[in-house]
Structure 1
Amino acid sequence: MTTIGWIGLGAMGGPMAQCVAAAGYPVSAYDVSLERARSLAGGDLTAVDSIRAAATGATVLVLMVATPDQVEAVLFGEGGAAGELEPGAVVVVMATVGPGPVESWARRLGELGVGLVDAPVSGGVARAAKGDLLVMVSGSAEDLAATRPIIDAMASTAPVVGPVPGDGQKVKVVNQLLCGVHIAVAGEALALADSMGLDVEATWEVLKAGAAGSFMFGDRGGRMVAGAFDDVRSALDIFVKDMGIVTTTAKSVDQPTPLAAVAEQLYLTGRRKGLGRKDDSIVYGILRGR
């Protein structure tokens, strides 16, 4: 029987783990906030108090933490999961961490007889709760077969984008370049409308239905118009991290990304102003100097 260990129960990870448990898989879940883990427990989802406890006996270990350093610590730090996993187990990395780290973890886990599936996600909190995410999957055929039913419990779309771990991260880098630039330009466009004395909400309503519209203009633009910067669905700090991954990865292959670089500076400006935990739609307020 497939037994799931789960690390990371944040805004996305929590509902994702609940979707897997609702599909009938026993999930032993750990989060740095034990209180949060306990609040999500129920049915086939059990809260545990350590990384080792989540990994022990797991045939699949899902990681939904935020940064490469956190994944490194979870797997190979003191009390890490790698030492508890049995040969034949598979680790599923679902965070956006960049291709280089994933390739390294795959090699190191492989030496222990443990597989790795690279499966970064896109879609946001609301879609995570409905099991409606896009997951960009890569890995060996054997590891993908072992994890496919679990991934399908979280995703409406989960294409295999490559045969080796790291390929999923590469596609996610392209995804985040587009998302990060779209959010930034939505803020810039609406800030210009405001500066010209236009009714910003009316302008947004007109433009979102035309050729200038995009998912991010509709979604984040609506939050910008509403000033819903404290209703945090995706923190600005996430795009500080992700745009840094975009520009670093691009440099590693000598690819200019001038628009991504400018967007990254905008997100960094927001963090410097102490706005990192605000919703990323706060870029509108940054551009208006508010």
Structure 2
Amino acid sequence: MAMQIAVIGLGSMGFGMAKSMLRSGQHTYGFDLSPKQVAAFQQAGGSEGALDAIAGTLDAVVIVVLNAAQTEDVLFGTQGIAASLKPGAVVVACATVAPDFARKMEEKCTDLGLLYLDAPISGGAKKAADGVLSIMAAGTAAAFKAADPILDATAATVFRLGDAAGPGSAMKAVNQLLAGVHIAAMAEALTFGMTQGISPQTFVEVISKCAGTSWMLENRAPHIVDGDYTPHSSVNIWPKDLGIVLDVAKSAGFGAPLTAAAMQQFLAAAGSGLGAEDDAAVAKVYARNAGLVLPGDA
């Protein structure tokens, strides 16, 4: 039988995930602060209904919002959904959050008779739309079983990292450390190359075939070549995500100097008014400081 699922957060990742659930035959509702996004999802086949009216019928809630504060507000805020869910419903929480926060949400959900899956996602908007994300998940066996149809619909790879919340978010922090550093390093290398007469296009053509490449380089550097900073993942995400990494590192007594250096570049980009642009726009910080002109800025 089809599950009754609400996806809360229809941004580039949530919208794609919601459509993947529709394709798999699940009865899927989509909710977002943007009425335009909700209307677009309903036009794509999503079910209609007010969240407070359908909450008690739901088998699962998939939360694809920006941060811990929004996740907690969805569940336990003044209009929080948790108290209206039926016992045994599963909450699949996909935002990048600290492991301690994931454990706190699991405990509060358990107290209400709900299942909770700590399930951060990775792969970008295209993989979300294609249903081939990587999901770093942790939770009880019952939570995994309840969420399996959602995981099958949205992911190519599901890493089962533990039998309680926390390890999923810990692994996502590790991933975000690398991803943020790789984006900043890409921007630094690309603009350094420009000082030596290497065009951004040549940089991509050569380095993407050499040992210095990374997935982030191959995905983000073409945005700089095209001069297109339409936000697939914005600059503003990184002060939050790298901030989580640095907070977790501090609590563990671990020094993370590369993360701190990347964090400063993203903060500089956000402080320069680039926060809403694609995160490849961190290259503009380097270009400005070196007196370089990036493609599209001439």
What is the aligned partner in structure 1 of residue 231 from structure 2?
232
* Greater than 3 Å deviation, 4+ residue runs: 47-50
What is the aligned partner in structure 1 of residue 38 from structure 2?
37
**Aligned ranges 1:262-273 → 2 under 5 Å:** 262-273=261-272
Deviates more, 1:270-279 or 1:95-104: 95-104
- 2:84 aligns to what SS in structure 1? coil
What is the aligned partner in structure 2 of residue 243 from structure 1?
242
Match for 1:238: what amino acid? I
1:94 positional shift: 0.9
What is the aligned partner in structure 1 of residue 218 from structure 2?
218
| RMSD, aligned α-carbons | 1.4
- 1:281 aligns to what SS in structure 2? helix
Q: 1:48 and 1:274 mapped to 2: Cα distance?
A: 38
1:19 aligns with 2:20: yes
- 1:157 aligns to what SS in structure 2? strand
Q: 1:275 and 1:167 mapped to 2: Cα distance?
A: 32
How many residue pairs match? The answer is: 288
1:197 positional shift: 2.4
TM-score, normalised with respect to structure 1: 0.95
TM-score, normalised with respect to structure 2: 0.93
Residues 53 and 262 (structure 1 numbering): CA distance in 2 closer, same or farther, change over 3 Å? Answer: farther
- 1:24 aligns to what SS in structure 2? coil
Q: What per-residue deviation string (whole Å, max 9, x for no partner) do you get for residues 184-219 of structure 1?
A: 000000111112222232133111101111111111
1:285 aligns with 2:284: yes
Q: What per-residue deviation string (whole Å, max 9, x for no partner) do you get for residues 152-201 of structure 1?
A: 10011112012111110000000000000000000000111112222232
What is the aligned partner in structure 1 of residue 151 from structure 2?
151
Q: 1:91 and 1:288 mapped to 2: Cα distance?
A: 43
Residues 272 and 91 (structure 1 numbering): CA distance in 2 closer, same or farther, change over 3 Å? Answer: same
1:120 positional shift: 0.6
The question of whether the paired residues in 2 share the 8 Å contact of 1:26 and 1:44 is answered with no
Match for 1:39: what amino acid? A
What is the aligned partner in structure 2 of residue 200 from structure 1?
200
What is the aligned partner in structure 1 of residue 142 from structure 2?
142
1:43 positional shift: 6.6
Q: 1:13 and 1:194 mapped to 2: Cα distance?
A: 37
**Aligned ranges 1:50-199 → 2 under 5 Å:** 50=51, 52-53=52-53, 55-199=55-199
Unpaired runs of 5+ in structure 2? 294-298
Match for 1:31: what amino acid? D
Q: 1:235 and 1:48 mapped to 2: Cα distance?
A: 30
Match for 1:192: what amino acid? F
Q: 2:54 and 2:129 mapped to 1: Cα distance?
A: 22
Q: What per-residue deviation string (whole Å, max 9, x for no partner) do you get for residues 93-123 of structure 1?
A: 0111221211101111111111100111000
Residues 35 and 206 (structure 1 numbering): CA distance in 2 closer, same or farther, change over 3 Å? Answer: closer
Q: 2:81 and 2:253 mapped to 1: Cα distance?
A: 35
Unpaired runs of 5+ in structure 1? none
